[in-house]
Amino acid sequence: MPNLIEIKNIGKSYLKAGRNFRDTKVKVLKGVTFTIEEGLCVGLIGESGSGKSTLTRLILGLEKPDKGNGAILIKGLPVRQWIKANQGKMSVVFQDYTSSINPQYTVRETLEEPMRAMGHKGNLDGKIDVLLDKVSLSLDLKDRYAHELSGGQVQRVCIARAISTNPKFIVLDEAISSLDVSVQTQVLNLLHKLRLDMKMTYLFVAHDLQAVAHLCNKIVFLYRGEVVEEVMSWDLANAQNEYAKSLLASVIPFEV
Amino acid sequence: MSNLLAVRNLKVTDLRNQAEIIHGVSFELKKNSCLGIVGESGSGKSMTAKAMLGLTNPWLRSQGTAELSNEHGVLDLLQQDESTLRAIRGQRICMILQDAMSAFDPLAKIGSQMSETFIENKGICRSEARSMVLAALQMVNMPEPEQVLKKYSHQLSGGMLQRCMVATALAMKPDIIVADEPTTALDSINQRLVVEEFKLLRQETGTALIFISHDLGVVQHLADQVLVMRSGERVEYGEARSTFKNPQHEYTKYLIDSRLEMSKSFQKAMKRGAASA
């Protein structure tokens, strides 16, 4: 499968907290390299503070990596250049659904905004109905505000917004972590179906190995800013790295 | 064994519109045991715990009884005034809140907030408190605890803040720890670690635990009794093992089935590895 995104030897540092902070830097990412193949769902897993969120922000073009010989290329182009040339082809769904939706917008307005930004004019009701249908939300919810919906419903609205511009690639940054387990399963199944239907590529960032194994084809383990293991999800048991192994062994399974 | 805490017919009513939110929930907590409360968001899990501790908003009225017993006698938590409750919350019952980001004061450093708790409730001096904080942070496997002390809450991730909160509660060694989703933001290693810490604390000090979570795996691992809630009602209550093995209510079955569906791929991949090895 051709590569959609190539992450080559990326580094990122932030300034250290405390007094005299000007000189000291903390290196969050240390030469991260991996690829995201087109049409796959790649899972990115790591403990809190391992650099997952930093990496996603770099891939989304929200921040710049450290100067050096590293690069993030999408179809051979640097991230920001690719985004400029392909408006709306990259989307994101964040963990914190309440703060990623404007509380003054109804569901309809939330979904309309990205389409308007893409230059769609006139009545978008038909498109919105299709979107709501795709994420299995009732059409009655169109004129509700985010606070009138449950968490699972708001997250579905966020997913609908993410796919409203027919993206090629979606970053799911802990997109299901704030949901209940029963709702998580529903949303995971929905995401899986959407990816196949719309031929999308996912980067699924999470800390729940079981969810990652459920959705992803390939799993990348990030530890203290370095990629320590890359493994296909069916082959999880054969992970070689010590950290990956201990992550896998620590999962508390539910068995009946 | 006698009950440490007995909650009977707990009802919470919203005084603004007279709507009942919790419809008469009862449960018991024995010394040195763990009660798991499971259910979806909005089912009233957190509300039940907060009502018991007098932490609800002023427009909510709690009725029923929540009797906390010790060698000196029995105390109904719902009848106590604010200052008594405050002392109880600091020393005898610790609560680990779900939303770690908003549980800390954004204007004070983590180290001083954690030591404040110890100074206030244990009557120790600042330097003793500081070493206690460091020990507590090491207990939950915090990387670079010295650095963490100097940070503000927005400089740490949700998972790290959660571990700070868990560390504070564990170090207080109270009679009861009420933990509201303490492991959801953690990766599996740290989740396992925190869960083991809870277990260890229980063995060492006999601290009882009310563990609110929607992660059935963790609840199964920790809890002796389980309380299943849906829309403010008690759906099922009983021994954890038998409830999970043989759920009586449709809703419990549904929760168990969705969990099993999600972990299916993982279990399969790991089993395949075990077979080939």
- pLDDT reported for residue B135: 93
Summarize pLDDT for B149-205 with one digit per residue, the tens: 999 988 887 778 888 988 999 898 899 999 988 887 777 888 888 888 888 888 888
Q: Which residue has the higher pLDDT, B108 or B97?
A: B108
Q: Which amino acid is at A157?
A: V
Token pair recorded at residue B202 = 């229980």
Minimal C-alpha gap between A184 and chain B (Å): 8
The reported pLDDT for the residue numbered B206 is 84
Look at B160 and A184 and tell me if their CB atoms are within 8 Å.
no
Best A41, A44, A47, A215 residue to mutate vs chain B (most B CBs within 10 Å): A47
Q: Does B258 touch chain A (CB under 8 A)?
A: yes
Does the domain at B3-92+175-276 match CATH 3.40.50.300? Answer given as yes
Nearest to A254 among B151, B216, B270 (CB): B216
Share of chain B above pLDDT 90, in %: 47
Could you give the ipTM of this predicted complex?
Answer: 0.79
Write out pLDDT tens, residues A56-88: 999 999 988 988 888 999 999 999 999 999 989
Most confident of A94-98, B71-75, B243-247, B266-270: B243-247
Average pLDDT rounded to a whole number, residues B33-37:
94
| B141 has a pLDDT exceeding 70 | yes
A217 touches chain B (CB under 8 A): no
**Is the CB of residue B142 less than 8 Å from the CB of residue B173?**
no
Which residues, in sequence order, are CB contacts of A193 under 8 Å at separation 6+? Answer: none
**What distance in Å separates the CA atoms of residue B156 and residue A215, rounded to the nearest whole number?**
28
Write down the domain spans for chain B: 3-92+175-276, 102-173
Count Cα atoms within 13 angstroms, Cβ side, for B14: 7
Chain B residue with CA closest to A215: the answer is B265
Amino acid identity for residue B160 in this structure: M
pLDDT at A18: 62
Which backbone phi and psi does A207 adopt, to 5 degrees?
-115, 0
pLDDT of residue B1: 54
**Residue A40 pLDDT:** 94
| DSSP at A227 | E
Determine the Cα–Cα distance for residues A6 and A72; give it in Å rounded to an integer. 6
| Cβ-based contacts of B147 with chain A (< 8 Å) | 17-18
**Secondary structure (DSSP) of chain B:** --EEEEEEEEEEEETTTTEEEEEEEEEEEETT-EEEEE--TTSSHHHHHHHHTT-S-TTEEEEEEEEEEETTEEEEGGG--HHHHHHHHHHTEEEE-S-HHHHS-TTS-HHHHHHHHHHHHH---HHHHHHHHHHHHHHTT-SSHHHHHT--GGGS-HHHHHHHHHHHHHHH--SEEEEESTTTTS-HHHHHHHHHHHHHHHHHH--EEEEE-S-HHHHHHH-SEEEEEETTEEEEEEEHHHHHHS--SHHHHHHHHHHHHHHHHHHHHHHHHHHH-
Rounded (5°) CA angle B65-B71-B76 = 15
Distance CA B257, CA B251 (A): 10
Least confident of A177-181, B231-235, B240-244: A177-181
Residue A5, CB-side half-sphere exposure with 13 Å CA sphere: 30
| Chain A interface test: which of B37, B212, B265, B267 (most A C-beta within 10 Å) | B265
Q: Are B103 and B171 in contact (CB under 8 A)?
A: no
pLDDT at B276 over 70: no
pLDDT for A226 beyond 80: yes
For B63-107, the pLDDT digits (tens) are 999 999 877 788 899 998 888 898 888 889 999 887 777 889 999
Residue A19 has what pLDDT? 63
Between β-strands B176-180 and B208-212, what pairing exists: parallel, antiparallel or unpaired?
Answer: parallel
Residue B277 scores a pLDDT above 60: no
